[in-house]
Amino acid sequence: MIQILYPWLLLALVIPLIIWFFSKAKQPQLAAIRTPMFANWNNLQQKQQSSDSKLLFQKLLSFIVWIALVFACARPQWIDEPIELPTTGRDLLLSIDISGSMEEEDLKLHGRPANRLVVVKSIISEFIKKREGDRLGLVLFGEKAYLQTPLTFDLKTVQFMLDETAIGLAGASRTAIGDGIGLSIKRLRERPAENRVLILLTDGRNNSGELDPIEAAKLAKHAGIKIYTIGVGADKQTRRSLLFGTQTFNPSAELDEVTLKAVAKYTGGQYFRAKSSEELAQIYTLLDQLEPVEDKPEIYRPVTELYYWPLLLALAFLVLPMILNLLSVQLRATNSRPEKSTTQSAQRSAISGENHAR
What per-residue confidence (pLDDT) applies to 193?
Answer: 64
Q: Which residue has the higher pLDDT, 287 or 10?
A: 10
The CATH number of the domain holding residue 124 is 3.40.50.410
Task: State the amino acid at position 186 in one-letter form.
Answer: K
Q: Do 267 and 227 form a contact (C-beta atoms < 8 A)? A: yes
Strand 226-232 versus strand 271-274 pairing type: parallel
Q: What's the average model confidence in pLDDT over 176-190? A: 90
Instruction: Look at residue 97 and tell me if it is in a domain.
Output: yes
Q: Which residue has the higher pLDDT, 337 or 45?
A: 337
* Domain range enclosing 93: 87-296
Selection from 128, 131, 151, 129 nearest residue 87 by Cα? 131
58 and 174, same structural domain? no
Q: What's the average model confidence in pLDDT over 262-289? A: 87
210 and 140, same structural domain? yes
Mean pLDDT over all residues of the chain?
A: 80
What per-residue confidence (pLDDT) applies to 37?
Answer: 45
Q: Do 144 and 170 form a contact (C-beta atoms < 8 A)? A: yes
Local confidence band at 295 (pLDDT 50, 70, 90 cut-offs): low
Task: State the amino acid at position 252 in one-letter form.
Answer: S
What letter does residue 143 receive in the DSSP assignment? S
Task: Calculate the alpha carbon distances from 137 to 90, 172, 244, 327 in Å.
Answer: 11, 22, 46, 60
Model confidence pLDDT, tens digit, residues 146-176: 899 999 888 999 999 999 998 888 877 788 9
Show which of 252, 272, 296 is a domain's final residue.
Answer: 296
Task: State the amino acid at position 70 in one-letter form.
Answer: V
Instruction: Look at residue 157 and tell me if it is in a domain.
Output: yes
Number of domains the chain is built from: 2
Q: Is the dihedral of CA 222, 225, 228, 229 positive or negative?
A: negative
For 224, other C-beta atoms within 10 Å of its C-beta total: 16
71 and 92, same structural domain? no
Helix H or strand E encompassing 329? helix 308-357
Q: Which residue has the higher pLDDT, 211 or 38?
A: 211
Q: What's the average model confidence in pLDDT over 13-41? A: 63
What per-residue confidence (pLDDT) applies to 139?
Answer: 94
Q: Is the dihedral of CA 38, 44, 47, 52 positive or negative?
A: negative
273 and 141, same structural domain? yes
What per-residue confidence (pLDDT) applies to 109?
Answer: 85
Model confidence pLDDT, tens digit, residues 118-150: 999 999 998 888 887 788 999 999 988 989 999
Local confidence band at 230 (pLDDT 50, 70, 90 cut-offs): very high
227 and 304, same structural domain? no
CA-based radius of gyration for the chain: 39
Selection from 195, 200, 91, 196 nearest residue 153 by Cα? 91
95 and 58, same structural domain? no
Show which of 251, 270, 296 is a domain's final residue.
Answer: 296
Q: What's the average model confidence in pLDDT over 187-200? A: 80
Q: What is the DSSP string of 68-108?
A: HHHHHHT-EEEE---EEE-----EEEEEEE-SGGGG---EE
In whole angstroms, give the CA distance from residue 65 to residue 338: 39
Instruction: Look at residue 345 and tell me if it is in a domain.
Output: no
Instruction: Look at residue 320 and tell me if it is in a domain.
Output: no
Q: What is the DSSP string of 175-215?
A: --HHHHHHHHHHHHTTS-GGGEEEEEEESS---SSSS-HHH
* Percent of the chain whose pLDDT exceeds 70: 77
Model confidence pLDDT, tens digit, residues 276-288: 888 888 888 888 7
215 and 148, same structural domain? yes
287 and 153, same structural domain? yes
Instruction: Look at residue 328 and tell me if it is in a domain.
Output: no
CA angle 93–130–157, rounded 5-degree value: 60
264 and 181, same structural domain? yes
Residue 292 backbone phi and psi in degrees, to 5: -75, 155
Instruction: Look at residue 238 and tell me if it is in a domain.
Output: yes
98 and 11, same structural domain? no
Show which of 296, 320, 348 is a domain's final residue.
Answer: 296
Instruction: Look at residue 354 and tell me if it is in a domain.
Output: no
Selection from 173, 88, 91 nearest residue 133 by Cα? 88
Q: What's the average model confidence in pLDDT over 3-15? A: 88
Strand 107-109 versus strand 112-114 pairing type: antiparallel
Model confidence pLDDT, tens digit, residues 297-339: 667 778 888 888 988 988 888 888 788 778 878 887 887 665 5
CA 318 from chain center: how many Å?
Answer: 31
CA 238 from chain center: how many Å?
Answer: 46
Helix axes 257-267, 213-222, angle to 10 degrees: 10
In whole angstroms, give the CA distance from residue 180 to residue 88: 25
152 and 9, same structural domain? no
Instruction: Look at residue 266 and tell me if it is in a domain.
Output: yes
Rounded to two decimals, the pTM is 0.58
- Contacts of residue 14, Cβ cutoff 8 Å, sequence gap at least 6: none
What letter does residue 248 receive in the DSSP assignment? E
Local confidence band at 293 (pLDDT 50, 70, 90 cut-offs): very low
